[in-house]
Amino acid sequence: MDTLDLARLQFALTAGAHFLFVALTLGLATIVAVIQTRATFGGNPVHLRMTRFWGQLYLINYAMGIVTGLVMEFQLGLSWSGLTNYAGDVFGSALAIETLAAFFVESTFLGLWIFGWNRLNRWAHLAVIWVVTLTAYASAFFIMTANGFLQNPVGHVLEGDRLRLTDFGAMVANPAAQLAFWHVLVGGLITGAFFVAGVSAYHLCRRTPEQDVFRKSLRIGIGLALPAVFMNAVFGGISFQTLQPAKTAAWTNDAGRLAEAQAEMVARFGPGDYLPPVGWVQAGGITMLTLFAVMLAVAGLSFLLMLFRPVVRGFRLWHWLLVLMIPVPFVTMLSGWIFREMGRQPWAVYGLLRTSEAMSPVTPGQMRFSLIAFCATFAVLIAVNTWLLARQARRGPGAVALGDRPADAPVPVPSF
């Protein structure tokens, strides 16, 4: 592999890994906020225990996601200085707002939520988690605004050899950003819903304590999963209408369309290969659509089954099916990301800057070292996050420290 391929592989692996944390964070934040709303209005202690249990899992994933996000930021300066020099003044504005939302507003209010249990008024505490959730949405929105500019560059002028932002509103209203944001957001809800349903099914199958917690959680997970899958189909279907001609040609693998797209690009930019990798685009799209069909079938079947109380309590085969479904939304979202990003090639900024021109002047040896270091770091972070989530999920609500009253803590017994 040459230096460009190594740089692209590094960014694909690290961005994809970070995306896994983002998807679960968006889904769990929403679910926790909804459950806490029910607990606050209804005063049901079961809902309160549900809030604490799912909230602690959310915090684990959020913390690890922040670490992966920080590590990934180094890549832009390390490997893609050509992109930041050329277009950083444009899409960098959206990234700057995302940073303010994620690292200042969201993290500050999340700290208030963590340490505000039993200290803040219950209504103030509820408002705090909704601020956390809405700022998570805002963070995702501005990330997709930056990505949408790379897919469909608008709102800029070329001054010398750099782009300058002239219309921030046009970049925000970019259809390539707007539709992608809703597609990603609802995908995050699907990820969180199947995670909650799968963990709940595990505990119902094993007859662990706090069965009320997990029966209610299972219903919430399935009740969210089915409409979210339908909503995602709508946004995904509309998004197909905004694809670049070359990406559409690669997806359909139509020889006539491929030749037409290539000829159009050659006429505009001169000789070169302007077609995206057909195999990658098709593999990503087919995997995404196939797994979507699986999620729709399981969500629809589960919605029917959860209407029967004996089934919810003891249908072990269904419970294990839901457990096995936990990773499916993650793979689906990664497949969709591959379809979206590989279909943009060979452009870093579509129609303006090629990926080969966006690279930093690094040697193959430096790139290999960077790739190994980044991949090793992310592999460790993913392994640690998976282990922490699995351990905490397996322990159940009884082992949750979030929201414990000091008086509820066991009194230490001295040993002699």
Alpha-carbon dihedral 116, 120, 123, 124, rounded to 10 degrees: -80
* Residue 141 contacts residue 102 (beta carbons within 8 Å): no
- With bands split at pLDDT 50, 70 and 90, how would you rate the model's confidence at 411? very low
Nearest Cα to Cα of residue 26 among 96, 88, 80, 102:
102
Residue 314 has pLDDT above 80, yes or no: no
Paired residues of 114 in beta bridges:
none
Give residue-wise pLDDT tens across range 274-289: 889 999 999 999 999 9
Give residue-wise pLDDT tens across range 173-218: 999 899 999 999 999 999 999 999 999 999 988 888 888 899 999 9
* Residue 79 contacts residue 360 (beta carbons within 8 Å): yes
Paired residues of 162 in beta bridges:
159
Give residue-wise pLDDT tens across range 63-116: 888 877 777 777 777 788 888 889 988 988 888 888 887 778 888 899 999 998
User: In total, how many domains does the chain have?
Assistant: 1
Nearest Cα to Cα of residue 196 among 381, 399, 32:
32
**Residue 354 belongs to what H/E stretch?**
strand 353-354
Distance of CA 399 to the CA centre of its chain: 27
Reduce the secondary structure of 197-211 to three states and give it as a string: HHHHHHHHHCCCCCH
Residue 303 resides in a domain: yes
Mean pLDDT of the chain: 88
- With bands split at pLDDT 50, 70 and 90, how would you rate the model's confidence at 23? very high
Residue 22 resides in a domain: yes
Distance of CA 17 to the CA centre of its chain: 9
Residue 34 resides in a domain: yes
What's the average model confidence in pLDDT over 55-68?
Answer: 88
Q: At what angle do helices 122-151 and 3-42 cross, to 10 degrees?
A: 150
* Residue 280 contacts residue 338 (beta carbons within 8 Å): yes
* pTM of the entire predicted model: 0.91
Give residue-wise pLDDT tens across range 353-409: 999 898 888 888 888 888 888 888 888 888 998 999 999 888 888 877 787 765 444
Q: 346 preceded by cis ω (within 30°)?
A: yes
**Residue 39 belongs to what H/E stretch?**
helix 3-42
**Residue 64 belongs to what H/E stretch?**
helix 45-79
Residue 263 resides in a domain: no
- With bands split at pLDDT 50, 70 and 90, how would you rate the model's confidence at 327? very high
Joined tokens for residue 187: 């995908």
Residue 125 resides in a domain: no
Higher pLDDT, 263 or 72: 263
Residue 257 resides in a domain: no
Nearest Cα to Cα of residue 15 among 101, 143, 116, 200:
143
Q: Are strands 156-159 and 162-165 parallel, antiparallel or unpaired?
A: antiparallel
Residue 26 resides in a domain: yes
Residue 126 resides in a domain: no
| Confidence at residue 185, expressed as pLDDT on a 0 to 100 scale | 94
| Confidence at residue 374, expressed as pLDDT on a 0 to 100 scale | 83
Joined tokens for residue 181: 């944001």
Largest CA distance in the chain: 86
Q: Which domain holds residue 230?
A: 3-91+145-244+277-404
- Cβ contacts of residue 268 below 8 Å, gap of 6+? 351
Nearest Cα to Cα of residue 410 among 143, 95, 401:
401
